[in-house]
Amino acid sequence: MSASIPQPVDVLPHRDPFLFLTEVTGYEAGSWAEGYWQLGDDEAFFAGHFPGRPTLPGVLMCEAIAQLGAYVVLLDERFVGRIPLFGGLDGARFRRQVLPGDRLDLRIDVQRMSARAGKATGTASVGGERACSAEVMFVIG
């Protein structure tokens, strides 16, 4: 990881077990970001979703996309020390299963942002194959 790219834990208020962003690999503050979530084989939710056939819940893919969105928003100097909160989720589509040990590659593009709210589009993929896409709306708390 480049020394010029801040660690997610240094930007986001999220902490284990709810920090789903392992590393950010590129960004432009307030505009776009790319990163990933490296899933372990022993994530607690895999035990119950589903026993004998573990798969990443779609809502957690959406949360990972939203966390990358929060990361890119919080790097914008206008929003340092604030907190972006979910305002809505539109057009979420799930295309493939995500399994234990997979690397979930993430991309977010901010479409519009004001002093109080914004909208972004995001994708999550595994091995170049799209797993999830969604439009995320957020409010700045």
Nearest to residue 97, comparing CAs of 132, 121, 122, 62?
A: 132
| Active-site entry in 14, 49, 96, 130 | 49
Q: Would residue 14 show up in a list of annotated catalytic residues for this protein? A: no
| Cα 16 to Cα 20: distance, rounded to the nearest angstrom | 8
Nearest to residue 133, comparing CAs of 102, 96, 100, 103?
A: 96
**Among all residues, which ones are annotated catalytic?**
49
